[in-house]
């Protein structure tokens, strides 16, 4: 299970980097050497760059785990890409959600804090933890109804930052 999660995560980073290269950008996978950046992407001149954090999920899942760092707004040159990587023998399509860091941070923070305020099973208080999750379409996030559908294949958000 852990090995599959790790290989799916690695695949997600390389598929995202490949898509960026296909679009004419320079994309370098950091291979774990940067705690908050999975891919550094620049225009071909090297004059503009963005940081990308990739989280992979299986298409059809209800959520994608992102962790605490999703609550950090970072800078306007930081993006999250949630990469839906199909199972090996699946007919599912690849799916990508390109979300600016400030949008991610605002929504993940609000959802998590509302969850903490709500009673859990048998009225018990929820206990804070490092898990944060983004609800995937066709579902919407509980407590806020955040729907990430509008960010599907929004590579244009990155392209604008890189000057294309």
User: How many other CB atoms are there within 10 angstroms of residue 121's CB atom?
Assistant: 6
29-43 pLDDT per residue, tens? 998 778 899 999 999
Query: How many angstroms separate the CA atoms of 33 and 13, rounded?
Result: 13
65-119 pLDDT per residue, tens? 999 999 998 999 999 999 999 998 999 899 999 999 999 999 999 999 999 999 8
> What predicted TM-score, i.e. pTM, was given to this entire model?
0.93
**H or E element in which residue 17 lies:** helix 2-22
Enumerate the domain spans of the chain. 2-161
CATH of domain 2-161: 3.40.1350.10
Phi, psi of 62 (to 5 degrees): -85, -30
């Amino acid at each position: 299970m852990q090995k599959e999660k790790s290989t799916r995560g690695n695949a997600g980073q390389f598929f995202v980097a490949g898509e960026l290269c296909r679009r004419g950008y320079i994309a370098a996978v950091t291979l774990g050497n940067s705690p908050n950046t999975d891919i550094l992407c620049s225009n071909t001149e090297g004059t503009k760059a963005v940081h990308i954090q990739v989280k992979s999920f299986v298409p059809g899942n209800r959520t994608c785990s992102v962790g605490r760092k999703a609550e950090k707004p970072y800078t306007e040159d930081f993006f999250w890409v949630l990469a839906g990587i199909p199972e090996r023998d699946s007919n599912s399509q690849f799916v990508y959600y390109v979300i600016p860091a400030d949008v991610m941070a605002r929504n993940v923070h609000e959802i998590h804090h509302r969850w903490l305020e709500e009673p859990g099973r048998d009225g018990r208080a929820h206990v804070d933890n490092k898990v944060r999750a983004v609800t995937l379409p066709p579902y919407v996030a509980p407590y806020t109804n955040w729907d990430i559908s509008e960010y599907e294949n929004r590579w244009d958000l990155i392209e604008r930052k890189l000057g294309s």
